[in-house]
Chains A and B, each alone.
Chain A
């Protein structure tokens, strides 16, 4: 077990990727706090092996309350923080209202900021041999754009820069900060992307669209939440003691290639 004796907090812990991370952490021997807006999150089934905490990452009071709870039950120490809470808005900037813009920045960027900020006192008390580990969620969309996802792309670019900045500032304190940058991962968010794109019209089914998209990937498949959890687990473990300040793209090779013309 790679995470025996460690304590972890995962935001978005009931979402597609966050939930897989919580399950993996628990299997690896960690004590896991899954924080999300509701116990069901975006997935309703089952009851994962973790402690659920209600959290609104955009609320400073809510974030503080979560750490009060973690501190009281985990000896005021935290080894692993995963900022997996995130939302997506499928619009161009012209279609995006200021309210929507502020909302997605509040969750994806401010949330990562707040949850990390108040984690620091606990992370500094970590006894982990490989240092405490913070894992943010960027996206390959923070490097190159998908159409109609402007605000989302911008929030993920912000998370990338924040990741490097946090790594610089807190590395000397024994806190490693990295970001995972997923490509197309089979989650409720991805389903919403395909449906919201309206691509089901024009005589093309969502299934055939998805297959076409899979085929553009060198690996010919979407990622699974478990694929993200595999790397998050490694970054959280002492194996990754020298890994800091990096953006880890996990996209089945998608962004390694130039756009594929239909020749």
Chain B
């Protein structure tokens, strides 16, 4: 039996990658899914998805989007960007763009939609393992994800039992972002071998791995689950950043 029959879901930043993986899974579980993204509806987006052109960092756009929604069951705050810089390299524009999408966007969407969700609705924020421990050269990204983790707990505390709110912390998920990272490695094949060796699961993640957690957090199976962070990273962060075996 489908887990999300008769549910309505909104997934931000669902054009591709993890957001699209979550949208696909939700649809397969019987939910009616609206995907948001900046710009026009992608040509190849299947007809069963509704599309809303909306920028999560723009308060007016978010208000307009929310005005058309009533009784939403599931909100997934997935939209996010990455800026590969240390703080001394980061410009004010970088700050506004990154924090606008990753931090302010989650705030704006939750503020606008919590009053419009059905009782017992589920908010799922996409945090990151990088919000718990640092990835080098991703300072604002790391910090923005830590913000998401903190906001997740606050929403759970302030707005339960009306809504539940949890975050998923993905590790290395094979998306365009990760493909690009391997492509520019000195030795892409060796880089991939090394990355695999660091994952007890023996593989990198797929958007469907994150979608599996999201489906559970969206379903009634998790009705007692709120305010928590769920790491889905193939075991990466369970082991030390050091693994002497890899230095041979």
Contact = CB atoms under 8 A, between A and B. Distances in A.
Given A140-B240, A144-B237, A144-B240, A199 B245 contact: yes
A73 interface: no
Given A146-B243, A258-B130, 15 more contacts: A141-B240, A144-B239, A146-B239, A146-B242, A194-B244, A204-B248, A212-B247, A254-B240, A254-B241, A254-B242, A258-B133, A259-B241, A261-B172, A261-B194, A263-B186
B185 A258 contact: no
A146 B245 CA distance: 10
Given A255-B133, A258-B135, A263-B182, A213 B240 contact: no
A261 B129 CA distance: 14
A206 to B, nearest CB: 10
B130 A216 contact: no
Given A262-B191, A263-B181, A263-B184, A257 B241 contact: yes
A146 B134 CA distance: 18
A209 B236 contact: no
Contacts of B242: 146, 184, 213, 216, 254
A5 to B, nearest CB: 40
A208 B247 CA distance: 9
Interface in B177-212: 181-182, 184-186, 190-191, 194-195, 198
A144 B241 CA distance: 9
B245 A261 contact: no
A202 B247 CA distance: 10
A239 interface: no
B205 to A, nearest CB: 14
B239 A145 contact: yes
A147 interface: yes
Interface residues of B, number: 29
A202 B130 CA distance: 33
Contacts of B186: 263
A144 B238 contact: yes
B68 interface: no
B57 to A, nearest CB: 26
B136 interface: yes
Interface of B: 129-130, 133-136, 172, 181-182, 184-186, 190-191, 194-195, 198, 236-245, 247-248
A208 B176 CA distance: 35
Contacts of A208: 247
Q: Closest 8 CB pairs between A and B?
A: A212-B247, A263-B185, A262-B194, A202-B248, A204-B248, A259-B241, A146-B240, A258-B135
5 contacts: A197-B245, A254-B242, A258-B134, A258-B241, A259-B241
Given A209-B244, A209-B247, A209-B248, A259 B238 contact: no
A87 B159 CA distance: 48
B243 A147 contact: yes
B129 A258 contact: yes
A261 B186 CA distance: 12
Nearest to B142: A258
A256 interface: yes
Nearest to B195: A261
A66 B70 CA distance: 72
Contacts of B134: 256-258
B185 A259 contact: no
A256 B240 CA distance: 10
B248 A260 contact: no
Nearest to A145: B239
Nearest to B138: A258
A255 B241 contact: yes
Contacts of A209: 244, 247-248
B198 A259 contact: yes
Contacts of B238: 144-145
A154 B236 CA distance: 18
Contacts of A199: 244-245, 247-248
Interface string A18-43: 00000000000000000000000000
B245 A147 contact: yes
Interface in A137-184: 140-141, 144-147, 184
